Chain A
Amino acid sequence: MATSQTPTPAAEHRHHPAWAHQFDDMDQQREASSFAMWVFLLTEIMMFGGLFTAYLIYRLKYYDAYVAGSSSINVVWGFANTLVLIGSSFTMAMGVWAAQKGRRQQQVLWLVLTIVLGTAFLGVKAIEYKDKYDECHIPGQVIGKGFNATGGIGCSGEGANIAEELQHPKNANGREVPGKPAAAAEQIARQTEIFFVFYFAMTGLHATHMIIGIGVLFWLVWRAHKAEFGPEYYTPVENFGLYWHFVDIVWIYLFPLLYLINRIPHR
């Protein structure tokens, strides 16, 4: 067989199967793809930004209700979920690295680990939502009985009746401390419903993003398994990594804003 000239690197770039011909070479294609993904993430900032702003405005207006709502969600689950998501960001970054290095088995491993951690996050969220359902803290007429003064009847869980909790709060040692008068407690309990509107809207939208992300991850695992990614072309993994890290960043802000409003023991 006659030897052919070794193609120049630029020509090699142009012959990659994933090269789309409107781009000069793979490098320019990657730049354009990355820019496009960032612009999409800007639209995501707009979507979540709107919710964060509305959350902030109501927090300024109904701070006591936010404190009551925040106290009634389990901070340990939230803390655990934050660590799980940060871990999944690490495994995702490692997946991108492995794809860039062309290590097929490692790519698959790290992406699968990301799926596992993402699913663990959703599992914890399911437990949290179930707890809220049991305590009747889901906004609306159907389930939201925990926000009424006489609420909590038929709802399980210590914190079910918010008005009651506000009137007779217990400190960290379990001793009762002075609470709020009945009328104020009832009003705050009713206002707590808006906190839970934001809790479910924001964590629900976030969880939806997670579910979509996990779906895409399955597709990426399949492609990685088929050795489609290597040093020349790992754009899908890298750009999905951007999306996944963005979802992680949203949770990094959600955790303190929803779970850590007032956790000072004696207050």
Chain B
Amino acid sequence: MSENTNEKPHAHPTPGLYLIILSILVIGTVLTFFASTWDMGVFNPIVALTIACTKATLVILFFMHVRYSSKLTIVTICAGFFWLLILITLSLTDYLTRI
């Protein structure tokens, strides 16, 4: 393997780290499954979505290497989620304000 003196070293996750992330994801799945059977009133969907967002964040940061990626990649992803936020909130301003 040649020495890459021209490029900065790319940090990369190890298989051990992938296994840890996998374990957390599996635990999160089990947790969300059982949490759906607990009566938390209005918090049930909030808890479910919070767990889902945490799992998605872990997949994005580690499996998709975003933790080790350029700022351009991070800005691109944030732009995507910002767009989704606009879609959902502005659509809801219509439907939630109907008499």
A contact set with B: CB distance below 8 Å: 8-10, 12-13, 25, 27, 31, 34-35, 38-39, 41-42, 45-46, 49-50, 52-53, 56-57, 60-61, 75, 79, 82-83, 86-87, 89-90, 92-94, 97, 100, 102, 231, 238, 241-242, 245-246, 248-249, 252-253, 255-257, 260-267
B84 and A45 form a contact (CB under 8 A): yes
How far in angstroms is the closest Cβ of chain B from A198? 15
B29 and A38 form a contact (CB under 8 A): no
A32 to B76, CA, bound (A): 13
B73 and A35 form a contact (CB under 8 A): yes
Contacts of B63 in A (CB 8 A): 89-90, 92-93, 241, 245, 248
A252-B73 contact in complex given A9-B5, A53-B87, A97-B15, C-beta closer than 8 Å:
no
B56 and A253 form a contact (CB under 8 A): yes
How far in angstroms is the closest Cβ of chain A from B39? 5
Q: Is B97 in contact with chain A by the CB < 8 A criterion? A: no
A10 to B2, CA, bound (A): 10
A249 to B54, CA, bound (A): 11
How far in angstroms is the closest Cβ of chain B from A122? 19
How far in angstroms is the closest Cβ of chain A from B19? 8
A38 to B76, CA, bound (A): 7
Contacts of A266 in B (CB 8 A): 39
* One of A34, A89, A100 near B12 (C-beta < 8 A): A100
Could you name 23 residue pairs across A and B whose Cβ atoms are closer than 8 Å?
A: A12-B2, A25-B6, A31-B72, A35-B72, A38-B73, A60-B95, A82-B29, A86-B26, A87-B22, A89-B25, A89-B59, A90-B63, A93-B63, A94-B18, A97-B12, A100-B12, A245-B59, A245-B63, A246-B64, A252-B55, A262-B36, A264-B38, A264-B39
Additional A-B contact list (7), CB under 8 Å, known A90-B22, A245-B64, A249-B59 = A41-B80, A45-B80, A93-B62, A97-B18, A249-B60, A252-B52, A260-B32
B76 and A42 form a contact (CB under 8 A): yes
Contacts of A92 in B (CB 8 A): 63
A262 to B37, CA, bound (A): 8
A13 and B55 form a contact (CB under 8 A): no
Contacts of B56 in A (CB 8 A): 249, 252-253
A263 to B48, CA, bound (A): 12
A264 to B39, CA, bound (A): 6
Contacts of B51 in A (CB 8 A): 256
Minimum CB distance partner of A43 in chain B: B80
A42 to B78, CA, bound (A): 10
How far in angstroms is the closest Cβ of chain A from B44? 7
Contacts of B81 in A (CB 8 A): 45
Minimum CB distance partner of A34 in chain B: B73
Within B1-22, the residues touching A (CB, 8 Å) are 1-7, 12-15, 18-19, 21-22
